[in-house]
Structure formats: C-alpha cells, structure tokens
Amino acid sequence: EVRGCPRTVSLLPEHGVVAAVEDDWAAEYSDLRISVRVVSSIDEAIAHINRYGSKHTESIVTEDRNAASKFMEEVDAASVYHNASTRFADGFRYGLGAELGISTSKLHARGPVGLEALVTYKYKLFGDGHTVKPYAAGERQFKHSSSPVSCSDSPARQ
C-alpha cells in the first residue's frame, strides 16, 4: 500500500495511492506499506526527515551530488546513504559483528562513562543503486529489475 501527500495522490491516480494522515509520516509499518511526500526542495526534504524520520537510517536517491552532500551532512540519523538500500544498516555488514541492539539516540550510556561510550558515529554510504543480498537462501529479493537513478522529473532538482 502506498500512502501519500495530496501531490503524490494527484501524480499517481491510477495506482490507488491512499491519502496520508499526520501519523503516517512517522510510522514504521513493518509491512509492505510506504508513505510518500513530494517536496519542493532538498531543504524541505531534510526538514521533513529530521522531524519524522527514524534517526536510524535514511537514504536519498539522486544524481545531484550537491543535494546528496547536503543530505549526508544535515540529516540527523546514525546512517545516511546516497543511492543505496537502507538494508545495508546492519552491524555485520559494517564489519562490526552482530548487533546486540539498536540505538537511535545520540547518547545512550549510563553510569560510569569512558571515552569510548561518549563517541557516537554517523555512517555514510555512497552507492549507485546498490542493494543487499540476503543472508539466507530462500529469503525474498527486494530488487526485481534494473532501477536507474534519474531525477529529471523531480521538482527538487535544479
């Protein structure tokens, strides 16, 4: 299911886009559902993501290197990607070993805190439409066809 802002609904009338409500922007559905909002600028996109995003992993799909660079610097998330799947967000894929948990806050330590606990990280991944392979055989694939990166019709592209 696709939920969208009024502009998204008007751009995709034949696809049955459902009008989004305020709660949709911050929802983590854990389902085959997405909320889409058309914005007029990279600044508007960053503001929307910083307000409603997960603070965990965010990605931009664009050919515009300046927009990507601005996104990578200004989006408040532990991992930010350019032209790459957010499924790369995994301690094992980062070479850090298995995850014990996921933190979306900038400081999570309690009690006596050493230097290592005070350091936070922001992971930046630059891709070219890259996706991840499944860990186990039989897992569903999420990329079914070639997906060229093109934003020539985007109102945010200048």
What confidence tens digit (pLDDT) does each residue in 35-90 have?
999 999 999 999 999 999 988 889 999 999 999 999 999 999 888 999 999 888 87
* Residue 120 pLDDT class (50, 70, 90 cuts): confident
Calculate the alpha carbon distances from 1 to 61, 125, 155 in Å: 21, 28, 24
Calculate the alpha carbon distances from 108 to 2, 53, 78, 120, 152 in Å: 34, 19, 13, 9, 41
Strand partners, 125: 81
Task: Please indicate, yes or no, whether residues 19 and 65 belong to a single structural domain of this protein.
Answer: no
Residue 11 structural domain: 1-38
pLDDT at 107: 60
Task: Please indicate, yes or no, whether residues 58 and 98 belong to a single structural domain of this protein.
Answer: yes
**In the chain, how long is the greatest CA-to-CA distance?**
58
Does the residue 135 lie in any domain? no
Task: Please indicate, yes or no, whether residues 33 and 58 belong to a single structural domain of this protein.
Answer: no
pLDDT at 7: 97
Task: Please indicate, yes or no, whether residues 60 and 126 belong to a single structural domain of this protein.
Answer: yes
Task: Please indicate, yes or no, whether residues 34 and 70 belong to a single structural domain of this protein.
Answer: no
- pTM of the predicted model, to two decimals? 0.68
pLDDT at 5: 97
pLDDT at 147: 58
Does the residue 136 lie in any domain? no
